[in-house]
Each structure stands twice: as C-alpha cells, then as structure tokens.
Amino acid sequence: MYARVDVHKNVCRAVIVNDEGGWVDEFSFRNSKRGIKDFMMRIEGFRDRGSGCC
C-alpha cells in the first residue's frame, strides 16, 4: 500500500491506495506539526492491520 499526499498551505489531503492502485482510504489533515503527527498515527494503523502500508 502507498500513501499519496496532496500538500497545500493549510490542509493536506491523503489517499491510501493498494498495490493495484485501488482506493482504500482518504482523509484530510492540517499542515502543522500536530496534523503531521495525526497523519503518521493514522497510517500506522494500516501497518497494525497487517496491510503493509507505507
């Protein structure tokens, strides 16, 4: 799995896709230290589920 991130000044948009390019999850997070921490915690959840993301 891969995380694709569209970075903007205030808010970022992330899409998690599987190895075939299929959509798995999509979410926004603030472009700040706290927002990036939240993003990292969220994608760690995919690893914890055994999907091998990121």
pLDDT, tens only, 21-47: 899 999 999 999 999 999 999 998 877
Report percent pLDDT > 70 for the chain: 85
Count Cα atoms within 13 angstroms, Cβ side, for 53: 24
Give the per-residue pLDDT at 52. 54
Place of tokens 């997070």: 29
Judged against a pLDDT cut of 70, whether residue 48 lies above it is answered with: no
Among candidate residues 1, 4, 39, 38, the one with its CA nearest the CA of residue 18: 1
Q: Quote the tokens at residue 25.
A: 């999850």
Total structural domains within the chain: 1
Residue 54 lies in a domain: no
Q: Quote the tokens at residue 33.
A: 């230290």
Cα 18 to Cα 45: distance, rounded to the nearest angstrom: 15
Residue 11 lies in a domain: yes
Residue 53 lies in a domain: no
Residue 27 lies in a domain: yes
Domain limits for position 38:
2-48
Q: Report pTM.
A: 0.75
